[in-house]
């Protein structure tokens, strides 16, 4: 198997490349955090296909969070440009961009109010059946049904675990049916139900739209359609799990770290992958996304 060219995909062009299929593109993007500082990412070329799961991996400080910050327009490029459906970001307003994206942080805060308020926060017109659907998707439907006030339960009056909090955030994001779901997977160990729900939601959503994860679980990485390996602010390789295992030494090291970190977790491997227990982040993984 040919080695992936630096920043290129083994065995062919980047998915969603120049064929117009990309929903989101970064073209030669260099960006950083102020004058006098080294750029945090350099010369990033990335085309995110309209459907499918793109996982971003890399050691601490590689630029993964910066990449997401650029996509969310928390940060502007110093060089290069981003585009949504082929239209450069500079021609689009912040709300126009954000309306197409949904972002689930590692530690997304719940908003004051009820579970319903939390779900409707960014989709105020969603109907009851939509709320039920996303709660089922994130495996919270039974829990909500068991509460006396159901969807109208005040979150402050209920003990909400970290896992449930993340599932509420994910449900809120799914409700929007975003063109691009951006997800910074939790580094903390979460309960098995949350792990499974997040995993399943990524798979389901990736059939309808684009999902970009900063992946901290081996099972998530393995499941991605394309994995982007970042190092020192650059994309050093991209491809499928098998392609990268064969061709990229840093990827092999990252996978090994995830495997070691997750050893003994007992999480099930995705179908077709013999050794993929993963519930714990690699050492040095990020704490949160800005
Ligand atoms: N707010 C900030 N101000 C200044 N420098 C920053 C800021 N955020 C990130 N950086 C720097 O940018 C570079 C890339 O950081 P980034 O957080 O994007 O990497 P990362 O791959 O997400 O790392 P981690 O896995 O540790 O979260 C690092 O050198 C980091 O120190």
CB distance 60 to ligand 1 below 6 Å: yes
SS (H, E, C) 136-164: HHCCCHHHHHHCCCHHHCEHHHCCCCHHH
Complete domains list, the chain, with CATH: 22-262 (3.40.50.300)
DSSP-derived 3-state class of residue 42 = strand
Q: How far apart are CA 26 and CA 280, in angstroms?
A: 30
Q: How far apart are CA 102 and CA 83, in angstroms?
A: 16
CB distance 14 to ligand 1 below 6 Å: no
Residue with tokens 């928390």: 74
pLDDT score of 2 more than 50: no
Pocket test for ligand 1, best of 26, 42, 44, 63 (most atoms within 8 A of CB): 63
| Structure-token pair, residue 138 | 């994130």
Q: Rounded to an integer, what is the distance from CA 58 to the centroid of its chain?
A: 14
Reported ipTM exceeds the 0.95 cut? yes
* 199 touches 273 (CB < 8 A): no
* 81 touches 88 (CB < 8 A): yes
Strand 226-231 versus strand 180-184 pairing type = unpaired
pLDDT tens-digit readout, 66-105: 999 999 999 999 999 999 999 999 999 999 999 999 999 8
Q: What pTM does this model have? A: 0.84
């Amino acid at each position: 198997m040919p080695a992936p060219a630096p920043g290129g995909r083994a065995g062919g062009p980047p998915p969603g490349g120049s064929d117009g299929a990309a929903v989101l593109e970064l073209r030669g993007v260099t960006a950083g955090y102020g004058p006098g500082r080294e750029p945090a990412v350099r010369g990033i070329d990335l085309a995110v296909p309209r459907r499918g799961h793109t996982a971003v991996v890399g050691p601490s400080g590689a630029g993964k969070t910066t990449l997401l910050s650029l996509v969310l327009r928390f940060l502007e490029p110093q060089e290069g440009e981003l585009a949504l459906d082929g239209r450069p970001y500079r021609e689009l307003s912040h709300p126009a961009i954000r309306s197409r994206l949904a972002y689930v942080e590692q530690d997304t805060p719940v908003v004051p109010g009820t579970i319903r308020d939390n779900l409707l926060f960014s989709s105020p017109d969603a109907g009851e059946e939509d709320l039920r659907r996303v709660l089922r998707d994130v495996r919270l439907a039974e829990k909500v049904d068991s509460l006396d006030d159901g969807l109208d339960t005040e979150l402050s009056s209920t003990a909400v675990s970290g896992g449930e909090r993340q599932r509420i955030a994910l449900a809120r994001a799914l409700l929007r049916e975003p063109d691009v779901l951006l997800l910074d997977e939790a580094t903390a160990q979460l309960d098995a139900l949350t792990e499974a729900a997040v995993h399943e939601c990524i798979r389901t959503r990736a059939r309808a739209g684009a999902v970009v994860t900063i992946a901290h679980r081996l099972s998530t990485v393995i499941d991605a359609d394309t994995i982007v390996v970042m190092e020192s602010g650059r994309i050093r390789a991209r491809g499928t799990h098998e392609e990268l295992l064969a061709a990229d030494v840093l990827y092999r090291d990252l996978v090994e770290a995830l495997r070691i970190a997750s050893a003994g977790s007992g999480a099930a491997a995705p179908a077709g992958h013999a050794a993929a227990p993963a519930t714990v982040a690699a050492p040095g993984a990020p704490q949160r996304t800005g």
